[in-house]
Amino acid sequence: MLSPKSMKPVLAAILLLLAACGGTTVVEDDAQPQPNEIAGMSTVFIGMGTWENQRRTNYWVNGGVVIQIEDGVSTILSVAHFCDEVKQDESEDITVVTTVFDMEGNPHKATVVDYDRSIDLCLITVESEWEAVTTRLLAPSAIELWDPLENYSNPTGTRVGQRLLLSGNTRARYPEYQALFRYDGYYAGVYNEIVAANSMPVTGGQSGSGVFLDGALIGVVSQGETDFHHILFSVRGDVINEWLLEHGVEMEYVE
């Protein structure tokens, strides 16, 4: 009888033969990120107030999703009720400058391109290429009732230790302090002509962050039920797709 040790070369030969015949796939060590990992990495955090103040304080109150990278510019989808507050704080001009933070807590100067309060959507651009981008967008017709969903966000400004320890140098002194919360839930169906309902935790600071199904975007967080913290409303994929096309931004849209 062959010992387990002596079987190793035999098993290796069998695997190579199967691979040559198309019977199996050899997985490389440097495998590409999974769709849900890409969804998390495409999440951004948006600050309130001027660029000069924000890049020093690293405080944010909103989320967003990178949906396009082109010619060195990253386009971010977020919600209008936040962008409208930024506009009122900054100037009467719709084009204002705010701050977007990446996964490492680094600040990036960002421009509010346009927003529409009637459907609660906003477009923001950053002149840098993000690490990851979410490219697929699902219509409500492509989602089944109670499909499992994910949301990646850091509500109430909790992020990379800086807010917790109230120190602008925290990231440099404690580089291991990097947090990104994932919330799981389920699709509950179309709520009205603008939003879908989801059974998922929601609180202040999640607005604008993405709701995902297997790494594909189904909506961005717009509202929550204040009397019960597991009812989340997200702007529907079909509403997002129509608005993005009006602004020359095209995602891989699945109906």
In this structure, are 116 and 144 located in the same domain? no
In this structure, are 112 and 72 located in the same domain? yes
3-state secondary structure of 6: helix
Q: Is residue 30 part of a domain?
A: no
In this structure, are 148 and 204 located in the same domain? yes
Q: For the domain that residue 152 is a member of, what is the CATH number?
A: 2.40.10.10
3-state SS of 32-101 is: CCCHHHHHHHCEEEEECCCHHHHHHHCCEEEEEEEEEEECCEEEEEECHHHHHHHHHHHCCCCCCEEEEE
Would you state the structure tokens that stand for residue 62, as one six-digit string? 């909103």
- Least trusted range by pLDDT, from 23-27, 76-80, 244-248: 23-27
Would you state the structure tokens that stand for residue 229, as one six-digit string? 């913290």
In this structure, are 143 and 223 located in the same domain? yes
Last residue of a domain, one of 95, 126, 157: 126
Residue pLDDT, tens place only, 113-151: 999 999 999 999 999 889 899 999 999 999 999 999 999
Query: 32: pLDDT confidence band, cut at 50, 70 and 90?
Result: confident
Q: Is residue 16 part of a domain?
A: no
For the chain, the first-to-last Cα distance in angstroms comes to 57
Four-residue CA torsion sign, 206, 195, 135, 230: positive
Q: Is residue 248 part of a domain?
A: yes
Give the number of domains in the chain: 2
DSSP 26: P
In this structure, are 250 and 155 located in the same domain? yes
Domain that holds residue 109: 35-126
Q: What is the mean pLDDT of the chain?
A: 79
